[in-house]
Structure 1
Amino acid sequence: MTDRTIDLDQRRGLASQHATELRRLVSDVEANEEALRKRQEEVERQLLARPAESWLEAADKARYLLGRYAATTTGGDARTRTLIAAVLQDFDRLTAVSSVT
């Protein structure tokens, strides 16, 4: 018996190494998607916990929602993405003006 580990990937053929790496990547993506889903649920719980107390808070909620919508396939056409980007720029501009006054 030996204390040295054996790198089994080096003993596999190239196709087998590629398949193993692909399985690992898919597993990582699935784990990351699950973690993201849980974080999104927590953010949404907090956003729903109480009504906005200012226009800035309302804009933050809308910004989050528009970002989620833009990431979906239905929010993916160019015109919709352009409109969402324009609204988000408006929020940024108006928020900056509000914080100065």
Structure 2
Amino acid sequence: MTEIPIDLDKHRGMAAQKATDIRRVVADVEANAKLLRETQGVVEIQLLAVPATSWPEAVAKARYVLNLYSASLAPSDTHHRDLVTAVLADLTRLSGEN
């Protein structure tokens, strides 16, 4: 028995290698999405539990919620997308950020 691993991908056709690569990428994306959902849940619990103590904290919370809302909009809903963009720009301008 040899201790050198055999690269089985070399013994398969290109289509099979690409299919394996796609499955690996999809598995990675699904794992990352699960981690992101878990992290998002923790962040949202903290946002609900702790009231903002300053305008910058309130602005950060508002940005988070507006970005969530914007992500749920249909691509064709340009009116609401433009409204979210304008409000985010207002928040940036009024908070003194560049």
Q: Taking structure 2 as the reference length, what is the TM-score of the superposition?
A: 0.88
Structure-2 change in CA distance of 1:59 and 1:79 (3 Å): same
Q: CA RMSD in A?
A: 1.7
Residue 57 of structure 2 corresponds to which residue in structure 1? 57
Shift of 1:74: 4.3
Q: Structure 1: which 5+ runs fail to align?
A: none
Q: Distance in 2 between matches of 1:33 and 1:84?
A: 25
Give CA-to-partner distance per residue, 1:38-87, whole Å, 9 cap, x none: 11111101101122223322221110000111111447621211111111
Hey, what's the Cα distance between the residues in 2 that align with 1:76 and 1:36?
26
Cα distance between partner residues in 2 of 1:45 and 1:70: 20
Q: Following TM superposition, by how much is the alpha carbon of 1:16 offset from its aligned partner in structure 2, in angstroms? A: 0.9
Other structure's SS at 1:96 match: coil
Identical positions, percent: 53
Query: How many residue pairs end up in the alignment?
Result: 97
Under a length normalisation based on structure 1, what TM-score does the superposition of the two structures give? Answer: 0.86
Alpha carbons of 1:94 and 1:76: their partners in 2 closer, same or farther (altered >3 Å)?
Answer: farther
Residue aligned with 2:95, SS: helix
